[in-house]
Amino acid sequence: MAGPLNDVNLAALLLRGRIAVQRLGAPACVAAALCIAGVTAWAWLLPERAGQARLMAQPLPAPSTLVAPPPAPSANQNLAAFYEVLGEKRHAEQQVKVLFDLAAKSNLTLNQGEYKAGYDKASQVSTYQIILPVKGPYQSIWQFAMQGLREMPFASLDEVAFRRETIAEPTVEARLRFTLYLKGQQP
């Protein structure tokens, strides 16, 4: 007999529930469902929130345990680092050969260049200007220039000038001016 009695109670409860829903209307039922969902989500996230609060309550490490940045280099250290990067004046011609080799690897036409040596008394740095007229695809010229600067960190690319006969022409004529900064005696 327990079975039919439970069925009657369940049927009565369902009937009361349907009557209550009809009295309240759809908007009130949706609002009640959202409130129940919100309370459930809050109860589910409460333990996670408590764990985060415990982590936030932990004390920060003492300032003495933090890593201090290294001291800034002195002016003399910066100057020494500058001179350390410079190329050797006695190897200037070899650096020109490096540029010619890089141009050949980049499939550029490079017949000859112009060279000019100089010296800056104030910095006691020798300079070697190299002007190279090259021909080839635009992208290859830029790759050549960037490879030259990577190979010789003491060089600068001071000027790049491009010329093309027609827009459709795939070959570009370019003039690149590099300056090598070298340590060595005055010429």
- pLDDT tens column, 116-144: 999 988 888 999 999 999 999 999 999 99
Distance between terminal CA atoms of the chain?
119
Contact 147, 165 (CB under 8 A): no
Average pLDDT, the chain: 84
Residues 98 and 10 in one domain: no
In this predicted model, what pLDDT tens digit does every residue of 102-117 receive, in sequence order? 999 999 998 888 999 9
Q: Which domain holds residue 13?
A: 2-57
Interaxial angle between packed helices 138-151 and 92-105, expressed in degrees from 0 to 180 and rounded to the nearest 10: 150
Phi, psi of 186 (to 5 degrees): -65, 140
> What tokens does 114 get?
């112009």
Name residue 183's amino acid.
Answer: K
pLDDT at position 34 over 90: no
Residues 53 and 133 in one domain: no
Stated pTM of the model: 0.58
Eight-class DSSP state of 152: -
- Name residues whose C-beta falls within 8 Å of residue 88's C-beta, 6 or more positions apart in sequence: 182, 183, 184
> What tokens does 127 get?
């300079």
Residues 17 and 49 in one domain: yes
The number of domains in the chain is 2
Residue 80 sits in a domain whose CATH number is: 3.30.70.60
The neighbour count for residue 110, using CB atoms within 10 Å, is 19
Residue 65 in any domain: the answer is no
Residue 67 in any domain: the answer is no
pLDDT at position 88 over 60: yes
* Owner of token pair 């060595």: 184
